Amino acid sequence: MIGTLILNHATVTATLRCLEAMRTDLSCATRILILDNGSPGDDAKPLADFAALHPDTIRFSASLKNLGFAGGMNLLIAQALADPAIDQILLLNSDTLPQPGFIAAMQARLDPDMRTDMVAARMVREDGAIDSLGITLYRSTLASNRKRENEILLGPSGGCALLTRRLLEDLLATHGEWFDESFFCYAEDTDLVLRARWLGYRTAYAADAVVHHAGSLSSGGPDNDFVLYHGIRNSLWWLVKDAPAGWFLRSLPWFIALHVGIWLRHVRRGRARVLWRLYRDAIRGISAMRRKRKIIRDTRRVSAAEFATWVEPRFYERGYVQRAWRELWRGKSA
């Protein structure tokens, strides 16, 4: 049985649309677990009412506070795995509209014998443009949405990811966590995928599993201080936790270039205080990440040299440097 996990935080209209779309793809072997993640206002009631109409397929719970993506998903994962009949977990953003057949398309790419226990979907925007084909890790040391099928797939994005019970139970037993709750949100999926790769699990991409995605509704859109703070801070944390020292040293010139560019770009946009806070907090969290790093390093099942094969050789997304350069000198938003 597959358990589909959905978090709602102040996106009740989109979440209800997602649930309606999911019901066209449900079977007797599918369950939906939804958590209202500390939404302000009355989001919880319409979701609870919707779940009450479908008690055999939907289970609703609510948290009084926002646990973030990491904490909220961990709560739902624990609920799902408490049911011994559930052997696969689908993580799905609340602002998505999955297309019929996408679950079966993702399941078809699982291969237990080859340890392919993670599958990414084809997430597209409403205009048909690619939103995410999973996660790509670039040589700049920054991970982002994979936009092209010929780019190296690190693993699935948390926005739509199929994971097996075997992988999740292994992560908890070996590393003591599923998602790292100190991340709160953003890059927590990169961290989980990397830790799974260190344990020898592989990933696949299901091109025929199509999901429409609005993107960043619960965090107020993709270009704000909240996203900047968590995205860059957490990207520094997973580097400390998961990246081999040798690879990082070889990537150091690209890492420096990336962060000089981040400072130039966002200082010009009036975000100096956010930058100061995120780098300060990233440094404060290094000790905790180093303790987790030791566990990951001591339990990895593949050689450190394999990490380089998971990295896309490009500096970053195609066209990003040119756009950032034009923005820097013209003072315009990307």
**pLDDT at res. 12:** 95
Residue 25: pLDDT band (50, 70, 90) is confident
High-pLDDT (> 70) share of the chain, %: 92
Residue 258 near residue 140 (C-beta atoms within 8 A): yes
Half-sphere exposure of 37 (CA within 13 A, CB side): 27
Domains of the chain: 2-213 (3.90.550.10), 225-330 (no CATH)
The confidence score (pLDDT) of residue 71 equals 98
Per cent of the chain over pLDDT 90 is 85
Q: For residue range 298-320, list pLDDT tens digits in order.
A: 999 999 999 999 999 999 987 66
Q: How far apart are CA 329 and CA 208, in angstroms?
A: 41
Quick one: pLDDT at residue 294?
98
Give the pLDDT confidence score for residue 315 in this predicted structure.
93
Return the structure tokens found at 252.
């150091």
Facing residues of 237 across strands?
A: none
Mean pLDDT, the chain, integer: 93
User: Which bin fits 22, alpha (ψ -120 to 50), beta or left (φ > 0)?
Assistant: alpha
User: Which of the residue ranges 10-19, 142-151, 324-333 would you say has the lowest mean pLDDT?
Assistant: 324-333
Cβ burial, residue 294 (10 Å; 0-12/13-18/19+): exposed
Question: What is each CA distance from 204 to 5, 112, 275, 304, in whole angstroms?
Answer: 20, 12, 35, 21
Sign of CA dihedral 99, 231, 134, 287: negative
pLDDT value, residue 334: 36
Greatest Cα pair distance in the chain: 57
Flag whether pLDDT at 250 surpasses 90: yes
User: What integer is the mean pLDDT of 22-50?
Assistant: 88
Report whether pLDDT(221) > 80: no
Going from the C-alpha of 164 to that of each of 4, 53, 216, the distances in angstroms are 12, 28, 26
Instruction: For residue 121, count CB atoms less than 10 angstroms from its CB and return exposed for 0-12, middle for 13-18, buried for 19 or more.
Output: buried
Handedness of CA 180, 185, 187, 193 (dihedral sign): positive
Across residues 225-238, what is the average pLDDT?
A: 97
Residue 5, judged by CB atoms within 10 A of its CB (0-12, 13-18, 19+), counts as: buried
Q: Is the pLDDT of residue 217 over 90?
A: no
The owner of tokens 């939103």 is: 131
What pLDDT sits at residue 42?
87
| End-to-end Cα separation, the chain, in angstroms | 43
